[in-house]
Structure 1
């Protein structure tokens, strides 16, 4: 499958939608597009430079979460490939978007690629000198399903099988033509989940900026900080080069 673009979708419960959009707009330095969809449930976080790769959705049921959109030339062909690798079809929308579940049960969508989805966003330099960008979507996978999930995503996105021996974290791509890097993490949790990560040149400064907007520091080590946004949604700030992701 030729993946041309990636989008991370924040799925917010209706009661949290407004405050959550405000927080993530501020943290990413984005503007928010006009709402769209039958119930005005979708919007895009527009970066100051580059093409959009973060979107928000208001959901009426459940706690929300995150999911990944893979932008491809032909979603139906991509869905057949994904199903052959163990994915489970969920639904097909009128606009051609196909919703599926990975072998471990994580939701993702295959969407038609369009022009205007090709220029990667630039990091933002904040007052004080900190530089950061949301550049990863991280899937936390139960340990028993880790090997299968890594190889599902790796084969689906064209990288091929990966030897996961003694690995607890696998980064599947770091292409300058794609908006996000996908990372699979081994976890002791019983259910899969997804969260986003920011690359920052100064973790301490970035943590302080996020706390000013209502986030809470959950844990911290020399290289990263785990944060909770105002609604309790977990995410990470990591000390990596915001321009290269390394």
Structure 2
């Protein structure tokens, strides 16, 4: 099984869909495709160069969140591999399948449509460069080792240590626009399912914070190398000082 492309999907409730799409379009520096789907529930955040790696979806049930689409040659063959590694199939829609990881994180296996060109970071008027380029999985401590092993097996990418013991990255595939990071939640915290959030890489965290606050986001907590933000609907994400061109 080869992952040809990765897409990060933002899942919104009906009440959030319009304003939230506007917010994420603005901070991504993208345009929005015409809606599609049987209920006009899908849209793509179109970059100014390269192939799209961010999409949005209006869901009818649940709190919303973030999930990954793995683009593969044959979703059904890939699903066999994923299920053997511990995933559970929750829906077969012909050209794509919905699954959950061992930790309960939803993801999709979709038919690859040829996407292969990474988009370049956006340069903003204040000369800051940034790009949304990473999905961080927030994993309960009791589920962490199994979840890490699952995603290593499914992607074929080894784990890479970071400057923080609770953060483990998967080695980035330079051909993909999205990287994967796993964060171990506090030991002793209530057990729950794995969730995910988006990370943005930038040359100036402070400039990005100011720009995002102008669109209605708020600062939750600051750390040395990243800042936790909350978008206008309360969704958390991070602005990081990683290199926006390499993701490192």
- Counterpart Cα distance in 1 of 2:175 and 2:230: 30
Whether the 8 Å contact between 2:157 and 2:172 is mirrored in structure 1 is no
In structure 1, the partner of 2:181 is: 183
In the alignment, what sits opposite 1:17?
A: 17
Q: 1:155 aligns with which of 139, 153, 156?
A: 153
Per-residue CA deviations over 1:73-97 (Å, capped at 9, x if unaligned) read: 0111110001001111100113x20
Matches of 2:44 and 2:101 in 1, distance apart? Answer: 25
Equivalence for 1:99: 98
Question: Match of 2:82?
Answer: 82
Alpha carbons of structure 1 residues 163 and 231: separation in structure 2 relative to 1, 3 Å:
closer
Query: C-alpha separation between the residues in 2 aligned to 1:88 and 1:222?
Result: 37
Match in the other structure for 2:70 = 70
Is the contact made by 2:158 and 2:170 (CA closer than 8 Å) also made in structure 1? no
CA–CA separation in structure 2 for the residues paired with 1:149 and 1:193: 11
Which stretches of structure 1, 4 residues or longer, exceed 3 Å deviation after superposition?
Answer: 160-164
CA 1:163/1:132 → structure 2, altered by over 3 Å: closer, same or farther? closer
CA contact (8 A) 1:11 1:64 kept: yes
Question: Is there any run of 5+ residues in structure 1 with no aligned partner, and where?
Answer: none
**Residues 160, 171 of structure 2: 8 Å contact kept:** no
Q: Give the Cα–Cα distance (whole angstroms) in 1 for the partners of residues 91 and 161 of structure 2.
A: 32
1:57 deviates by 0.3
User: Equivalent residue of 2:48, what SS?
Assistant: coil
Question: Secondary structure at 2:234's aligned position in 1?
Answer: coil
Deviation at 1:173, TM superposition (A): 2.9
1:194 to 196, 201, 214: 196
Alpha-carbon spacing, 1:161–1:183, altered in 2? closer, same or farther (3 Å): closer
> What is the TM-score when the length of structure 1 is the normalising length?
0.95
TM-score by length of 2: 0.94
| Deviation (angstroms), 1:159 | 2.6
Question: Where in structure 2 are the equivalents of 1:202-217 lying within 5 Å?
Answer: 202-217=204-219
Distance apart, 1:167 and its partner CA: 3.9
Cα RMSD for the two superposed structures: 1.6
Q: Matches of residues 121-160 of structure 1 in structure 2 within 5 Å?
A: 121-159=119-157
Deviations 1:104-141 (A, max 9, x none): 111000000012x1000110110111110001000000
Cα deviation, 1:211-246, whole Å, max 9, x if unaligned, reads 001000101122111000000000000011110111
Contact 1:7 1:68 in 2 (8 A): yes
Contact 1:120 1:179 in 2 (8 A): yes
Q: Distance in 2 between matches of 1:197 and 1:158?
A: 22
Q: Which residue of 2 aligns with 1:50?
A: 50
Q: Distance in 2 between matches of 1:234 and 1:162?
A: 24
Mapping 1:18-33, distance limit 5 Å: 18-33=18-33
* Contact 1:135 1:179 survives alignment (8 Å): yes
CA–CA separation in structure 2 for the residues paired with 1:221 and 1:161: 23
Structure 2 gaps of 5+ residues are: none
**C-alpha deviation, 1:162, in angstroms:** 8.1
